[in-house]
Amino acid sequence: MLSLRIRKTLTAPSGDRFTLEAEFDAPAGVTILFGPSGAGKSTLLDCIAGLERPDEGHIEVDGEVFFDHARGINRPVRQRRIGYVFQHLALFPHLTVVENVAFGLRDLAGGEREAKAKAMLERLRIAHTAARRPGEISGGEAQRVALARALVTSPRLLLLDEPLSALDAATKRALIADLKRLRVEIALPIIYVTHNREEAIALGEQIIVLEAGRVSERGEPLRVFGAPSRLSVARLAEVENIFRATVTSRDEARGELTVDLAGEGRMSCQLKIPLGDHAVGEQIAVAIPAGDILLAANAPVGLSARNVLRGKITGVTALAGEMRLLIDCGVPFVASLTRVAYDELSLSEGQETWLIIKAHACHVVEGES
């Protein structure tokens, strides 16, 4: 378990000040650190690793204190035994792959270092690269080398700073599969920095959303991305449908609000959403993930869903494994469905369709609407 509570203020050459203030626990498994560029994610990793000294706070792993401002404790990097995979990998270009991996094992005899490094390369399925240099291997192989170098020292904690950001989709999928396997095998806290929603959902047991140096939301990735509570988080998570809305009525008995979504000009449409503490006439923001919208080729009847909207398909985009549709219902909605469903419904651009949206798929998010 990593337990962390820190405060760190940085001053830019321009004189602008940035303060990172974070507190959270990270058990064994993958904790996703999610947020935009400049939110303080890499600075937070550097503080954990000992590359940056916090101004205040406390950092410990399994009861061993790495940093405590009040007690004057600040363990040096080497004593923390933390594996760190940097965004740009930082492999030594003049060393072979096996020499890169063995670099952190300087306390061992030469033969033992090489044997342990080769065993880790074998474990990550890149033993064939041992004699090559970083410039002679692929991006996916280089990523595995950096991971092998971080793991070969048997770290207490693993830090991964956007490790897949420069890889193509196929290589990224393969590495995600490897990381899923490793998180079970190594059973230690892993802090994984990303701004990619798919990576976060695929790998994370919990997510910490960092904005402007502060933790703005935390929880299970599917909950945070599927039902964000803040407008900024909905945008960070790239929720496809975010609308300005006006509350037009409250129905306490049914437990729902009716809201009017603002479209272009005088166009609009109405939705039923869960009852909240919002007055008639209040301006709010409503977020609806594209995957929570069902489509029908004909007018549906006998549904429990509170919202059935008639619209016209105005755009179709084919993505990996899914179809993304733009639908005009007075306001533009984005819906996604599998290619199989798209073909079975015989949908196409210009066609009329019906959107089916459960009230609980509509999330009121805090922030300026």
Residue 267's pLDDT is 57
Residue 238's pLDDT is 82
Amino acid at 348: S
What's this model's pTM, rounded to 2 decimal places? 0.81
Residue 95's pLDDT is 93
Residue 89's pLDDT is 83
Q: Could you tell me the strand order of the sheet in which 268-274 lies?
A: 268-274, 256-262, 241-251, 283-288, 363-365
Q: Could you tell me the strand order of the sheet in which 307-319 lies?
A: 294-296, 352-357, 307-319, 322-328, 332-337
Residue 368's pLDDT is 60
CATH (one of 3.40.50.360, 3.30.70.100, 3.40.50.300, 3.20.20.410) for 2-236: 3.40.50.300
Residue 172's pLDDT is 82
DSSP 140: H
Residue 12's pLDDT is 80
Listed as ranges, residues in the chain with pLDDT below 70 are: 110, 263-268, 368-369
The full set of domain ranges for the chain reads 2-236, 241-365
At the topology level, CATH places domain 241-365 in OB fold (Dihydrolipoamide Acetyltransferase, E2P) (2.40.50)
Spatial separation of the C-alpha atoms in residues 179 and 128, rounded to whole Å: 20
